[in-house]
Amino acid sequence: MSAPNTPTVGATETPSPSNDLPGTVTRVDVRGPRFVAWITTAVLAAAIVVASFSPVVAGIVLALQAVVFAIGAALGPHRGPYGRVFRALVVPRLTPVTETEPVAPLRFAQTVGFVFAAVGAIAMLAGVVAVGFVAAGFALFAALLNAAFGFCLGCTIYPLVLRLRPAH
């Protein structure tokens, strides 16, 4: 699903073809989403550990992560908080981009992450800790798959969801 590409703005973004909105990014450096997934993995693991002694604090951490997911889903992973950290602190130390991936599946994956983090946050804050653990655990599993193995579960599901959408 990835294709070679030449370096672009900040070595992480590929401008869209002329038929898209100006400034729209359609592809990103594959290293960015993996970096984002490592931070997400750490945050979700911390929330799960904290939940064992303070579900309210875990709920707050999950709510903050849900906001991060929402930003990534709405604006694209390169514009989310962790993507900005990647561009500002990591990209200057990297070799030029050699492989990119499309943004649309990543935005879908961020949306799925948002749903699980939001459910986890609401459950933790409502005192339904078991549901919070399960929701956070699913999000953690998906983030870890991407971080450690480069396998984006949401990106894999994305084409299947597109097939289920009604034709226009």
Residue 4 counted as domain residue? no
CA distance 33 to 134: 23
Contact yes or no for 32/77 (Cβ under 8 A): yes
Whole-number pLDDT of residue 6: 37
Query: How large is the average pLDDT for residues 91-108?
Result: 94
Residue 142 counted as domain residue? yes
The tally of domains found in the chain comes to 1
More confident residue, 55 or 164: 55
Residue 76 counted as domain residue? yes
Residue 16 counted as domain residue? yes
Alpha helices in 76-165 (DSSP H): 81-85, 103-126, 129-149, 153-164
Residue 116 counted as domain residue? yes
Residue 2 counted as domain residue? no
Strand arrangement, sheet containing 100-102: 13-15, 25-29, 100-102
Residue 97 counted as domain residue? yes
pTM for this model (two decimals): 0.84
Domain range for residue 92? 9-164
pLDDT band at 67 (very low <50, low <70, confident <90, very high): very high
